[in-house]
Amino acid sequence: MQDDAETRLTEAVIARLSDKTDPRFRRIMHSLIRHLHGFVREVELTEEEWFEAIKFLTATGQKCDAKRQEFILLSDVLGVSMLVDAINHRGADGSTETTVLGPFFVHGAPEIENGGDMAAGWKGEPTYVSGQVRSTEGRPLAGALLDLWQSNSEGWYDVQLADTGGKRLRARLRTDADGCYRVRTILPTAYPVPTDGPMGQVLHRMGRHPMRPAHLHFMVSAPGHETVVTHLFVRGDPYLQSDAVFGVKDSLVVDFRRSESEDEAQKLGLKAPFYSAAYDFVLRPATGAKQRSARSAADTAPG
Ligand SMILES: [Fe+2]
């Protein structure tokens, strides 16, 4: 049974918020304190559990470094990242749906020419992805920037591997005069989110698997438009219904068609057999603030 002292404590903490603070910050802190106290009361947190939580958050922070972002992973596996995504991209206007940034974005991927090979000799099944970038009004966006990143055929990102010789399986390229892009790579594969840290233990205790369905990451931007942070998922992947980070949306599940035609492969600069996928990205016009917020989300990722 909740007593008056408990209620008064919550009110006292909220009352200490200064009237002079930024109104948005004040609103967030007011709600955070109210919900956090409500949560502690609801589960009647024991002192041991409170200390376990402190140790868990400490370990989460200690696991982060220039290449590892355990807090983004925490947000992802609890579905918070996708909730923030949903709230910030409401309204069906025909623009490409967004999904999690994930913990493996890195600034400054190598620039390649449109049609170039982002796998650069990395072992895997040859894959060709192409399409157009346009605005919601249907105008092709020439010179739009695509930032791509993916795991290798064994499910590892370059930042998880030693001695990759720099940034691998990442690229930036620009659309041509018709807003079209083409890229050669290897077929992405399903992989587990990192389980060697606190998040692995939490997933295990919740009885959840750590797998993400195969996907290619895209960040697509063009002046005057909202940046789209999204994935293309490989249709048929066994984990599409149970993505560890809840990132799958139907519109982002794409056919990666297998072909054994040597002629077709040669025309695309690949070897048969190969896979190909086609996907058009549609960007909505942006206010300056919206465009900046998508970029600053990326800025929190390790770089
Ligand atoms: Fe990923």
The CA 42 to ligand 1 mean position distance, Å, reads 35
CA 269/CA 262 separation, integer angstroms: 10
Residue 132 to residues 148, 226, 267, 279, 284, Cα–Cα distance (Å): 15, 16, 19, 7, 14
The CA 215 to ligand 1 mean position distance, Å, reads 6
Task: State yes or no: pLDDT of 130 exceeds 90.
Answer: yes
Task: State yes or no: pLDDT of 54 exceeds 70.
Answer: yes
Mean pLDDT over residues 208-237, rounded?
A: 96
Name, in order, each residue with C-beta under 8 angstroms of 290's C-beta and a sequence gap of 6 or more. Answer: 226
> pLDDT tens, 174-190?
999 999 999 999 999 99
The CA 205 to ligand 1 mean position distance, Å, reads 23
Q: What is the mean pLDDT of the chain?
A: 91
Mean pLDDT over residues 158-180, rounded?
A: 88
DSSP 111: B
**More confidently predicted of 166 and 10:** 10
- Judged by average pLDDT, the poorest of 16-25, 89-98, 174-183, 232-241 is 89-98
Which residues have a beta carbon within 5 Å of ligand 1, which is an ion? 102
Contact by Cβ (8 Å): 80, 247: no
The CA 253 to ligand 1 mean position distance, Å, reads 14
Binning pLDDT at 50, 70 and 90, where does residue 303 land?
A: very low
The CA 275 to ligand 1 mean position distance, Å, reads 19
Query: What is the crossing angle of helices 70-77 and 198-205, to 10°?
Result: 20
The CA 104 to ligand 1 mean position distance, Å, reads 7
The CA 18 to ligand 1 mean position distance, Å, reads 41
The CA 34 to ligand 1 mean position distance, Å, reads 35
Task: State yes or no: pLDDT of 302 exceeds 80.
Answer: no
The CA 289 to ligand 1 mean position distance, Å, reads 27
The CA 214 to ligand 1 mean position distance, Å, reads 8
Class of residue 144 by CB neighbours under 10 A (exposed 0-12, middle 13-18, buried 19+): buried
- Regarding beta strands 180-186 and 170-174, do their DSSP bridges make them parallel or antiparallel, or are they unpaired? unpaired
The CA 127 to ligand 1 mean position distance, Å, reads 17
> pLDDT tens, 29-44?
999 999 999 999 999 9
In three-state secondary structure terms, 31 is helix
